[in-house]
């Protein structure tokens, strides 16, 4: 049964006209609440019925009855057979229809590709030149014609000289094995075979004269150099890393400028006195500078988003006057700007002294280099060269260094070098090449058994350090024998350490280090490798200051504005900042560069640097302060200390490479000219040479923007 809904009833009722005076009577009833129901009924009965109202009510009732009768009749009608199934098929037909259209489109695309491939194959086959038949070449070689008189070997037996018996080999007694340096042996070796003997030996080894004549005449036509050595490592996409200093939330610091340009804005302390104090975050990492060097060697322009000013400063830093052993010295230096004359360059830095203690007075380090000819091998070998070159400044007069290259046959290229032989070691390492098929087990065995050639060997601690890229493998049986040999060496106060470079892990490294009484560590760059070597040589940690933090305070009477170069934290909107502290190691320097705008001339303090750190030996907190006065500011850039000049040049190179808005219209051509202008003062520093090579090479590239 159906019935009118509420909207239909409302429509019917609203169509009925109101009787005359009904609205006024209803209002009067509402205004007289003392009326009872009887009076209300009486008043309503006096209302006249409109004309046709009763008839319309009767028609409405008849309509409702008719609707009910229709519902009864329709409910008795039977549903045709298969109607519900057809309705379901209609609902499911739409996805099938779209699926068929997609299948037809895929089939057409496949057919188009097949036709295109057939056309290309046919075109290549039609344009192919006809094959030439093999031709047989016959070389007519006449028999040899003797031009000299033939003389037999033996004309008479009387002319033969007497045969002198060969001396018997000398056999060593067990007592002489331990002091082989005092025994001179005459070892008998057989004479090299002649032409006939060489021929018979090669025939026995499988030589075929009819097929190997070219190899006999010209040798193997192969390259002795593996092309995979110059290939770079695969670049792995990484997640954003914590880097830089957390930007302050102080009003007056233009955080929007930082996030938009990836560069610290100019800070005006007059806007907020809290901006007079700024952190001075020191950095010792050089990842982005080394990445720029690798991209330069590959002929690519460095990625601007990966260039960081602080890494360029750390990689090319110039040391200042070293303090006493085990101490840390903060310093402040300033000079007029080289690239922005209106501003001054202020360099806040710390310099560490040498190690105060040394567990091993003198040591003989045998460095075993295991670098395979694989992608990235050239960069890893260069890392070893840089680390060894810088190791000599930490060695004392009695320390010795030997270097063994792991190849198919281990080769000792340096034996017992002192700090006076740095140039010879550098030349020998420059000739080294990555090994195509290194035999690591043989290299370690050779290093462990090599006799110490130093006369005072009984006073030198024997140390073996394996630097490996983790690609070489050692069989389990050989690994057990090496472990046993390392245990014997450890019992004789010898240690075996392993440092891995690259992304691969050496499978048996932990087992070998445990047997040799040494440590297992990883090095990401030349700095890490250098200090790993230093730790092995000295036996102590090279860390001079741990948890180093610094704060710089600017004098508002002298400083109008300043800007920090580098240490931007822009990942995740500045929420992913790096560590606030850093470790400073022996003879290491670190610094942060500011651009400052000074107010006029005069005396007084310009800035104050407060440095805090923890002594790793005692665990006590240490504090040191450095003050920069106006009279200490250099009058010319060229009169500033070399450390400040190098920092300004490195920072400008980084700002140009990263498209900093403060670089302006300057490019590498301007920076290159400035580098060569100050070459006389900086050419003796390794950091300057690395920066100059990078700029000279990149200046020849055509940058694609």
Residue 244 lies in a domain: no
Q: Full-prediction pTM beyond 0.75?
A: no
Tell me, yes or no, whether 551 and 667 share the same domain.
Answer: yes
Last residue of some domain: 539, 559, 581?
Answer: 539
pLDDT on residue 166:
44
* CA–CA distances in Å: residue 416 to residues 392, 456, 462: 13, 11, 12
Sort 525 into a burial class: Cβ within 10 Å, 0-12 / 13-18 / 19+: middle
**% of the chain surpassing 70 pLDDT:** 79
For 454-479, how does the pLDDT look when each residue is reduced to its tens digit (9 = 90+)?
A: 545 567 889 999 999 888 888 888 88
Last residue of some domain: 493, 511, 539?
Answer: 539
Q: Under 8 Å CB-to-CB from 40, ≥6 apart: which residues?
A: 29
pLDDT at 234 over 60: no
Domain range holding 369? 363-539
Residue 344 lies in a domain: yes
Please name the helix (run of DSSP H) or strand (run of DSSP E) that holds residue 114, with its range, or none: helix 83-126
Tell me, yes or no, whether 632 and 680 share the same domain.
Answer: yes
Average pLDDT over residues 570-582: 71
> CA-to-CA distance for 542 and 583, rounded, in angstroms?
10
Domain harbouring 518, CATH code = 3.40.50.410
Average pLDDT over residues 579-588: 89
pLDDT at 632 over 90: yes
pLDDT at 569 over 90: no
Last residue of some domain: 480, 511, 539?
Answer: 539
Tell me, yes or no, whether 454 and 378 share the same domain.
Answer: yes
pLDDT on residue 42:
78
φ and ψ of 272, to 5 deg? -160, 125
- pLDDT higher at 333 or 701: 333
pLDDT on residue 573:
59
Q: Please, what is the average pLDDT of the chain? A: 80
Residue 242 lies in a domain: no
Q: How many structural domains comprise the chain?
A: 2
> CA-to-CA distance for 423 and 413, rounded, in angstroms?
14
Tell me, yes or no, whether 417 and 446 share the same domain.
Answer: yes
φ and ψ of 123, to 5 deg? -65, -40
Tell me, yes or no, whether 432 and 331 share the same domain.
Answer: no
SS3 520: strand
Collect contacts of 233-242 with beta carbons under 8 A, ≥24 apart. Answer: 233/375, 233/376, 233/379, 233/502, 233/503, 234/375, 240/571, 240/572, 240/576, 241/571, 241/576, 242/569, 242/571, 242/576, 242/577, 242/578, 242/579
Name the band, by pLDDT with cuts 50, 70 and 90, for residue 504.
confident
Residue 324 CA from chain centroid, whole number: 35
> CA-to-CA distance for 346 and 663, rounded, in angstroms?
18
- pLDDT higher at 333 or 601: 333
Nearest to 457 by CA among 184, 172, 182: 182
Q: Under 8 Å CB-to-CB from 54, ≥6 apart: which residues?
A: none
pLDDT at 210 over 60: no
441 neighbors 474 (Cβ within 8 angstroms): yes
Domain harbouring 611, CATH code = 2.60.40.1230
> CA-to-CA distance for 498 and 505, rounded, in angstroms?
11
Residue 515 lies in a domain: yes
Q: Under 8 Å CB-to-CB from 677, ≥6 apart: which residues?
A: none
């Amino acid at each position: 049964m159906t019935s009118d809904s509420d909207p239909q009833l409302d429509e019917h009722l609203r169509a009925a006209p109101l009787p005359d005076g009904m609205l006024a009577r209803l209002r009067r009833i509402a205004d007289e609440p003392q009326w009872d129901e009887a009076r209300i009924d009486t008043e309503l009965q006096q209302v006249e019925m409109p004309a046709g109202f009763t008839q319309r009510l009767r028609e409405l009732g008849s309509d409702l009855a008719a609707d009910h009768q229709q519902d009864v009749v329709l409910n008795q009608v039977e549903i045709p057979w298969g109607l519900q199934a057809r309705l379901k098929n209609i609902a499911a037909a739409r996805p099938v229809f779209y699926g068929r259209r997609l299948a037809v489109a895929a089939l057409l695309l496949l057919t188009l590709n097949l036709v295109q491939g057939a056309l290309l194959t046919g075109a290549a086959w039609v344009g192919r030149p006809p094959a030439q038949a093999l031709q047989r070449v016959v070389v007519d070689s006449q028999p040899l014609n003797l031009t000299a008189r033939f003389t037999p070997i033996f004309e008479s037996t009387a002319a033969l000289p007497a045969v002198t018996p060969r001396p018997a080999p000398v056999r060593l007694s067990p007592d002489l094995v331990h002091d082989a340096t005092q025994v001179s042996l005459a070892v008998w070796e057989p004479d090299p075979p002649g032409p006939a003997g060489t021929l018979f030996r090669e025939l026995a080894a499988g030589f075929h004269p009819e097929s190997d004549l070219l190899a006999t005449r010209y040798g193997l036509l192969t390259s002795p150099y593996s092309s995979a050595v110059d290939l770079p490592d695969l670049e792995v996409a990484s997640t954003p890393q914590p880097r830089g200093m957390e930007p302050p939330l102080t009003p007056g610091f233009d955080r929007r400028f930082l996030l938009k340009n990836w560069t610290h804005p100019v800070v005006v302390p007059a806007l907020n006195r809290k901006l007079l104090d700024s952190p001075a975050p020191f950095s010792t990492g050089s990842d982005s500078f080394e990445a720029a060097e690798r991209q330069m060697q590959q002929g690519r322009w460095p990625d601007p988003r990966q260039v960081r000013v602080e890494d360029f400063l750390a990689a090319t830093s110039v040391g200042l006057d070293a303090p006493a052993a085990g101490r840390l010295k903060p310093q402040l230096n300033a000079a007029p700007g080289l690239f922005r004359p209106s501003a001054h360059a202020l360099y806040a830095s710390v310099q560490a002294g040498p190690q105060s203690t040394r567990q091993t007075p003198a040591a003989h380090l045998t460095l075993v280099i295991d670098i395979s000819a694989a992608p990235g091998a050239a960069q890893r070998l260069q890392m070893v060269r840089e680390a060894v070159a810088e190791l000599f400044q930490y060695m004392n007069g009695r320390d010795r260094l030997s270097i063994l290259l792991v190849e198919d046959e281990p080769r000792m290229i340096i034996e017992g070098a002192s700090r006076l032989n740095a140039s010879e070691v550098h030349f020998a390492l420059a000739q080294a090449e990555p090994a195509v098929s290194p035999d690591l087990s043989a290299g370690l065995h050779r290093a462990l058994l090599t006799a110490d050639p130093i006369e005072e060997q009984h006073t030198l601690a024997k140390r073996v350090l394996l630097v490996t890229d983790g690609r070489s493998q050692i069989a389990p049986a050989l690994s057990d024998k090496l472990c046993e040999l390392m245990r014997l060496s450890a019992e004789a106060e010898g240690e075996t350490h392993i440092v891995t470079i690259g992304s691969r892990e050496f499978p048996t490294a932990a087992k070998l280090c445990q047997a040799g009484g040494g440590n297992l560590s990883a090095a990401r760059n030349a700095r890490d490798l250098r200090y790993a070597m230093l730790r092995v040589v000295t036996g102590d940690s090279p860390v001079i200051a741990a948890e180093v933090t610094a704060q710089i305070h600017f004098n508002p009477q002298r400083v109008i504005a300043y800007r920090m170069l580098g240490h931007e934290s822009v990942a995740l909107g500045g929420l992913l900042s790096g560590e606030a502290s850093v470790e400073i190691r022996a003879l290491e320097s670190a610094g942060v560069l500011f651009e400052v705008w000074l107010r006029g001339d005069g005396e007084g303090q310009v800035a104050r640097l407060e440095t805090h750190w923890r002594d790793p030996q005692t665990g006590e907190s240490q504090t040191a302060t450095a003050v920069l006065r106006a009279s200490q500011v250099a009058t010319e850039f060229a009169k500033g200390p070399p450390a400040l000049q190098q920092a300004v040049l490195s920072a400008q190179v980084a700002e140009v490479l990263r498209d900093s808005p403060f670089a302006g219209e300057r490019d590498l051509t301007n920076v290159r000219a400035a580098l060569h202008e100050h070459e006389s003062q900086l050419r003796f520093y390794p950091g300057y040479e690395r920066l100059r090579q990078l700029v000279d090479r990149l200046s020849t590239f055509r940058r694609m923007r």
